[in-house]
A = this chain, B = another copy of it.
Amino acid sequence: MKFLTGNEHKFREVRGLAEQFGFHLEWANLSLPEIRGSLREVALAKARDAFERVGPVICEDSGFFVEDLNGFPGEYSKWVFQKLGCEGIVRLAKGSRACFRTVAVYYDGRPLVASGEIWGEVVEPRGSGGFGYDPIFLPDGHSRTFAEDPLYKLENSHRFRAFRTLFKLLKKQESPV
């Protein structure tokens, strides 16, 4: 099964989890045009598009939603990160509630969709693991940021939660009762 992403961090995060469910993921590093839309719309469009080229495929779209900024940077998190970095978000919204969200999609002609999220707080950057906004995200009930504790992230993140649900759905499909 192919996992479509341009981001090696994401591939690594998901590959290990897939193996726990008995799925072997290959990395499909295609560059496809992205539409503008919600995480769900973007992930579904990418999956359909990639399916035409490489067959059955898994992909995802994720975002960082800051409550005091009306959900910014949200669907455009990657692009905003390239422009403003963690620093810009901290300057605008230190102390705000925030969440990471992932919508994960499996597509083989028909879609399977699952989502996951994790809430926390925007803090001054700490740590060097992970990527993107990980240094400024302090998950609820934890004392270290995602970047300070990448192992914690691996098993508690929005991405982990979305893909765990997706792989469970896929398992069910493979072995109907």
User: Smallest Cβ distance from A72 to chain B, in angstroms?
Assistant: 4
Contact residues of A: prevailing secondary structure: mixed
Q: For residue A36, which residues in chain B have a CB less than 8 angstroms away from its CB?
A: 33-36
Contacts of A74 in B (CB 8 A): 83
Whether A76 is near chain B, meaning CB under 8 Å from some CB there, is yes
Closest to A88 in B: B92
Interface string of A105-138 (1 = CB under 8 A from B): 0000000000000000000000000000000000
Instruction: Say which residue of B70, B71, B73, B84 sits within 8 Å of A69 (CB atoms).
Output: B84
On A, residues with C-beta under 8 Å from B are 33-37, 69-74, 76, 79-80, 82-84, 88, 91-92
